[in-house]
């Protein structure tokens, strides 16, 4: 009985253990299925998140590429602007070099003109001395004429050979007088040409000042959009002005050479006429003295002692009307020569003024070069070479001995000096404003370069993040 009961209990225990094991396996399977479903849900959620992140990254990448393209376009425009400015800078340097050469040539021409003016002054002194001698001779001739008329009343005489000789000499001197009139007309035409040239120079000066004011207004506006077009238009204007200046210089050079030749020719002719007049003066003095000694032996002793020193001239043969006309013509020639001298002095003053304006421009250019060299030295350790010093202006003209007489000219020169000082101060102020504007442009360029560097850094950061996200995505897909 005990064996039977023990066998039954063993069977019951086995069935209970098998049932418990079966229930445990079902629970494990259920837990595993539940875990699998949770993992599947998590996987779908992560995939959706990855898709969303990928879309966001693609949009960010597209925006970033657009920004980079915009920055590259801005950089290209800045490079083009910098190239245009450098090209303009080189052109301005070439123009300054050409202006320096022109100023040197003008200085040489001014020295030649000074020499000619000095020669003309010497000849004027000689002519004035000759005029004084002629006046004294005329007085003596009038005295002789009076004696001659009284003598003819008392005893009439006829010497046909002497009369013919005097007539031939009168005709010859009349032709010389006509030639002098033609020369005076030529000098009058040359004076008119000089006046027209001075007016053209004044107009050119006004145009240059107007262009300078326009360029300063454009610099004040600081319009970056149309700056390239303005620079191109200014370059064209500068080229046109350079051509005009070259043509004016060539024409003035040729005219000055022609004037120098004509002046030398006239000086030679005047010297020849003076020599011929002196020779005829001696001959006539001898002839008249012989005639007077024949007719009235004591006539020469009663004359003025100065008349014996200065001598006689053939102006008396023209008659009283011819004497007056000759005096008027000589006075007109003296006036014209004085006007020519004043015109030459004014031209020299204008040339000095132009040279001073050129030196001011060179000074401005040198200041710009110094600013640029200082910037380069601050960026790099290598020091830049010093810029060339500005060319010295033409030294002032030496004072003439008759400067005490020309008080209005001195006043005009002082007025011109005051104007030049005012222009120099204005140019200094303009240069300071231009340097300020250049510094502002440099700061703006620095800011743009910094922004560009920041954009490049952000681009690199975004690229690195994109690479990290793509790596994570690949890992999830592999899992």
* pLDDT single digits (tens) 337-347: 666 666 666 66
Domain boundary residue among 132, 151, 170? 151
Per-residue confidence at 422, pLDDT binned at 50, 70, 90? confident
Position 36 in a domain: yes
Contact present, 193 and 337 (Cβ < 8 Å):
no
Q: Kindly report the number of other CB atoms within 10 A of residue 202's CB atom.
A: 11
Confidence (pLDDT) at 170: 72
Question: Would you give the DSSP letter of residue 397?
Answer: P
The 3-state secondary structure of 102-128 reads HHHHHHHHHHHHHHHHHHHHHHHHHHH
Residue numbers of the domain that contains 82: 26-151
Domain boundary residue among 98, 116, 151? 151
Contact present, 60 and 458 (Cβ < 8 Å):
no
Contact present, 416 and 353 (Cβ < 8 Å):
yes
The structure tokens 């004027």 sit at 124
Residue 464 tokens, joined: 């690195």
Position 94 in a domain: yes
Confidence (pLDDT) at 387: 43
Position 243 in a domain: yes
Q: In terms of domains, do 243 and 144 share one?
A: no
Domain boundary residue among 274, 294, 314? 294
Average pLDDT value for the chain: 67
Q: In terms of domains, do 31 and 132 share one?
A: yes
Position 266 in a domain: yes
Q: In terms of domains, do 33 and 136 share one?
A: yes
Tell me how far apart the alpha carbons of residues 268 and 270 are, in angstroms, rounded to a whole number: 5
Tell me how far apart the alpha carbons of residues 165 and 173 are, in angstroms, rounded to a whole number: 12
* Nearest Cα to Cα of residue 228 among 28, 73, 84: 84
Position 141 in a domain: yes
Confidence (pLDDT) at 303: 43
Tell me how far apart the alpha carbons of residues 20 and 35 are, in angstroms, rounded to a whole number: 23
- Percent of residues in the chain assigned helix, strand, coil, to nearest 5: 90, 0, 10
The whole-model pTM stands at 0.23
Q: Is the pLDDT of residue 304 over 60?
A: no
Position 219 in a domain: no
The structure tokens 């006829």 sit at 158
Query: Quick one: average pLDDT of 116-124?
Result: 74
| Complete DSSP assignment for 229-288 | HHHHHHHHHHHHHHHHHHHHHHHHHHHHHHHHHHHHHHHHHHHHHHHHHHHHHHHHHHHH
Question: Would you give the DSSP letter of residue 393?
Answer: P
The 3-state secondary structure of 184-205 reads HHHHHHHHHHHHHHHHHHHHHH
Q: In terms of domains, do 143 and 238 share one?
A: no
Q: Is the pLDDT of residue 131 over 80?
A: no
Position 8 in a domain: no
Confidence (pLDDT) at 90: 84
* Nearest Cα to Cα of residue 290 among 305, 312, 316: 312
Out of 214-228, 441-455, 465-479, least confident range: 214-228
Tell me how far apart the alpha carbons of residues 288 and 479 are, in angstroms, rounded to a whole number: 144
Confidence (pLDDT) at 329: 55
User: Residues 276, 281, 286, 292: is their CA dihedral positive or negative?
Assistant: positive
Residue that wins the pLDDT comparison between 298 and 134:
134
Q: In terms of domains, do 147 and 53 share one?
A: yes
User: Residues 259, 261, 265, 267: is their CA dihedral positive or negative?
Assistant: positive
Q: In terms of domains, do 143 and 230 share one?
A: no
Structural domains of the chain, count: 2
Out of 242-251, 327-336, 389-398, 427-436, least confident range: 389-398
Q: How do residues 153-184 score in pLDDT, each as one tens digit?
A: 664 444 567 667 777 777 777 777 777 777 76
3-state secondary structure of 458: helix
Position 474 in a domain: no
Confidence (pLDDT) at 328: 61
Is residue 98 packed enough to be buried (19+ CB in 10 Å), middle (13-18) or exposed (0-12)? middle
Q: Is the pLDDT of residue 395 over 60?
A: no
């Amino acid at each position: 009985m005990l064996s039977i009961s023990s066998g039954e209990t063993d069977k019951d225990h086995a069935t209970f253990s098998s049932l418990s094991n079966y229930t445990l396996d079902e629970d494990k399977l259920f837990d595993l299925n539940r875990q699998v479903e949770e993992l599947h849900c998590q996987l779908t959620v992560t995939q959706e998140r990855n898709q969303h992140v990928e879309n966001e990254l693609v949009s960010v990448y597209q925006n970033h590429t657009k920004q980079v393209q915009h920055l590259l376009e801005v950089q290209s425009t800045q490079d083009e602007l910098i190239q245009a400015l450098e090209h303009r800078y080189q052109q301005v340097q070439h123009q300054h070099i050409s202006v320096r050469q022109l100023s040197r040539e003008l200085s040489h021409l001014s020295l030649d003109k000074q020499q000619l003016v000095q020669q003309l002054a010497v000849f004027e002194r000689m002519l004035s001395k000759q005029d004084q001698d002629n006046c004294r001779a005329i007085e003596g001739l009038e005295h002789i004429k009076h004696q001659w008329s009284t003598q003819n009343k008392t005893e009439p005489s006829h010497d046909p050979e002497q009369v013919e000789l005097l007539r031939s000499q009168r005709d010859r001197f009349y032709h010389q007088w006509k030639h002098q009139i033609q020369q005076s007309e030529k000098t009058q035409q040359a004076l008119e040409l000089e006046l027209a040239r001075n007016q053209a120079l004044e107009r050119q000066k006004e145009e240059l000042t107007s262009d300078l004011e326009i360029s300063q207004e454009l610099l004040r506006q600081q319009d970056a959009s149309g700056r390239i077009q303005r620079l191109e238009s200014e370059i064209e204007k500068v080229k046109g002005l350079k051509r005009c200046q070259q043509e004016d210089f060539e024409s003035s050079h040729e005219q000055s050479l022609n004037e120098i030749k004509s002046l030398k020719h006239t000086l030679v002719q005047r010297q020849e006429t003076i020599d011929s007049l002196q020779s005829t003066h001696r001959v006539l003095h001898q002839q008249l003295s012989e005639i007077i000694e024949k007719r009235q032996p004591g006539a020469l002793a009663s004359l003025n002692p100065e008349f014996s020193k200065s001598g006689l001239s053939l102006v008396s043969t023209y008659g009283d009307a011819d004497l007056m006309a000759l005096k008027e013509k000589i006075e007109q020639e003296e006036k014209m020569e004085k006007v020519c001298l004043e015109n030459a002095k004014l031209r020299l003053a204008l040339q000095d003024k132009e040279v001073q304006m050129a030196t001011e421009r060179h000074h401005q250019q040198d200041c710009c070069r110094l600013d640029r060299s200082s910037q380069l030295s601050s960026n790099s350790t290598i020091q830049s070479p010093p810029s060339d010093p500005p060319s010295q202006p033409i030294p002032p003209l030496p004072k003439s001995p008759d400067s005490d007489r020309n008080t209005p000219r001195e006043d005009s020169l002082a007025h011109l000096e005051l104007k030049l000082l005012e222009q120099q101060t204005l140019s200094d102020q303009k240069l300071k404003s231009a340097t300020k504007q250049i510094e502002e442009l440099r700061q703006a360029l620095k800011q743009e370069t910094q922004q560009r560097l920041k954009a490049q850094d952000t681009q690199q950061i975004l690229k690195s993040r994109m690479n990290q996200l793509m790596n994570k995505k690949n890992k999830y897909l592999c899992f």
